Amino acid sequence: MRHADVAQVVEHGTVYVLNLGHLATQQSPYIFDGSSAQIWLRIDGATPTTRIVNDLAEIYGAPAVTIDADVRAFIEYSVAMGLVHLDPADE
Amino acid sequence: MADGNASSDISLNVAVELIAPAVEKLARHAGIRALIIKGPVATHHGLRPARASADIDVLVEPGRAYDLVDALEACGWKRRPMTRAAELAASHSESLIHPRWPIDIDVHAKFPGFLAGEPSAFEALWRDRTAMSLAGTDCTVAGLHGSIIIALLHAIRPDAIGHQRTDEHRLALAAVARMTRVDQERFVDIVVDSGAAGALVGSLREVGLTVPVPGGQDATAWDALVASKGSFTGQVLAAASTAHGGQRVKVLWLALWPSATELRAAYEGEGHVVRSVTWLRLQRLGRGLRALPGALRALARARREAKHSGEGAQ
């Protein structure tokens, strides 16, 4: 789920995320649009990764296998940046 | 999708919403009491139509403004260049800029018009504080009463733009008029405690509120500033009128003869191309001399009025 120290604004479908816990090293917001915005908005601590994959596969009409790799890569990146921490329930 | 965007990628509204919690976070981490004021806070309280702000304003507890500036500088924010004379004349705030953000952060050590000194003003506003959700996080902001006081002071400030002055003044006074009697009494208490009574007594009379103005709140500098319509010369004279001894000489000297480096930095910071510092000095001097008679008259008038009101109170 998203870290509590994250500020987020959505404008015209684009998500702007500022990591308040790392302001000295991450001085400007992450900008997520398109599929990355769709993934980010579903990382809410309640939606499991498999559901996120299925949602995006439906939205973009792509095979779940392909989407699965993209979703997991995005989540790994978000974890590495300190924006997200993983719970067992996320799976 | 990584960070590293240019300021043009972020709208003013998004920047204001994100920077407010960032300031809140840094202030809390450093143990500094800070209130977000104006802009989105005024809109939240119905004191300003929703519109984009070019800056975020934060009022900091006395003695801690530069600690917050230091914390912001550690995150890549830099002080907006200005001459030291301008700094001394407008010593109430420090503007910070960042290459990746389209807005300034204005860190206020004090706010013009609170005449009882910074501690009284801040404590009164802090007691009235409230929480507001910005970018999904709770931020500590000025409460309704404090925001009305700030909006009124902002509206009657010397350099207010005509329509903004009218709109802000009207909306703030309408909010006062809508209050219950009990709320109005509480509001008047905050006006007095914060030291804004001297500056706002005329405005609040328009909605039928009588505000006692305690003695010892020297309104001379504020009145001189208002009467000089916020000209730089007026600001310098107002700052010099409240300074003492060597500080007064320093203010006047720096206004007359800023260093070439700071003069160049200040003009270039405003987007001007500087070809000759001598030409800049002559231009400044010419503008200052033209504004001087009016500013001196305004200061003298303010002093006369302060003297008369002081005699009337005895």
- CB within 8 Å: B21 and A20: yes
Identify the contact set of chain B against chain A, taking CB-CB distances under 8 A: 1-5, 9-11, 13-14, 17-18, 21-22, 25-26, 74-76, 98, 100-101, 134-137
Contacts of B10 (CB under 8 A, 6+ apart): A16, A28, A29, A31, B18, B100, B101, B102
Q: Which residue in the set A7, A24, A30 is minimally distant from B2, CB to CB?
A: A30
Q: How many CA atoms lie within 13 A of A87 on its CB side?
A: 11
Q: What is the pLDDT along chain B (314 residues), one digit of tens a residue?
A: 444 455 568 999 999 999 999 999 999 999 999 999 999 999 999 999 888 899 999 999 999 999 999 999 999 999 987 665 566 555 678 999 999 999 999 999 988 888 888 889 999 999 999 999 999 999 999 999 999 999 999 888 766 555 566 888 999 999 999 999 999 999 999 999 999 998 898 899 999 999 988 765 556 666 666 665 556 666 666 666 666 677 767 766 767 677 777 767 766 766 677 777 777 777 777 777 777 777 777 667 666 665 655 444 43
**d(C-alpha B80, C-alpha B73), whole Å:** 11
Prediction pTM value: 0.77
Give tens-digit pLDDT for B210-251: 998 876 555 666 666 666 555 666 666 666 666 667 776 776
Partners of B11 on chain A (C-beta within 8 Å) are 11
In angstroms, the separation between the Cα of residue B255 and the nearest Cα of chain A is 35
Q: Are B44 and B17 in contact (CB under 8 A)?
A: no
Q: Which two tokens stand for residue A21?
A: 């816990």
Torsion of CA B297, B299, B302, B304, to 10 degrees: -70
Q: How many CA atoms lie within 13 A of B127 on its CB side?
A: 12
Q: Which two tokens stand for residue B292?
A: 């001087």
Q: Which two tokens stand for residue A86?
A: 């993983």
* Strands, E assignment, chain B: 34-37, 55-60, 78-79, 93-97, 104-108, 130-134, 137-141
- CB within 8 Å: A29 and B5: yes
Q: Which residue in the set B5, B25, B134 is minimally distant from A23, CB to CB?
A: B25
Q: Are B187 and B203 in contact (CB under 8 A)?
A: no
A80 in B contact zone (CB under 8 Å):
no
Contacts of B292 (CB under 8 A, 6+ apart): B233
Q: Which residue in the set B100, B134, B136 is minimally distant from A27, CB to CB?
A: B100
Touching B: A residues 12-51, CB under 8 Å: 16, 18, 20-21, 23-24, 26-33, 36
- CB within 8 Å: B10 and A27: no
CA dihedral (B289, B91, B56, B262) positive or negative: positive
In angstroms, the separation between the Cα of residue B57 and the nearest Cα of chain A is 18
Nearest CA in chain B to A27: B75
Q: What are the φ and ψ backbone dihedral angles of B96, each rounded to 5 degrees?
A: -120, 145
Strand arrangement of the beta sheet that strand A30-32 belongs to: A6-11, A14-19, A30-32
Partners of A7 on chain B (C-beta within 8 Å) are 17-18, 21-22, 134-137
Number of Cβ within 10 Å of residue B114's Cβ equals 26
**d(C-alpha B59, C-alpha A35), whole Å:** 39
Q: Are B298 and B224 in contact (CB under 8 A)?
A: yes
**d(C-alpha B149, C-alpha B169), whole Å:** 10
- CB within 8 Å: A9 and B74: no
B302-306 contacts: CB < 8 A, separation 24 or more?
B302/B219, B302/B220, B302/B221, B302/B222, B302/B223, B302/B224, B302/B227, B303/B220, B303/B224, B303/B241, B305/B223, B306/B218, B306/B219, B306/B220, B306/B223
With b for 16 or more beta-carbon neighbours within 10 A and e for fewer, the B282-292 pattern comes to: eebeeebeebb
ipTM of the complex: 0.91
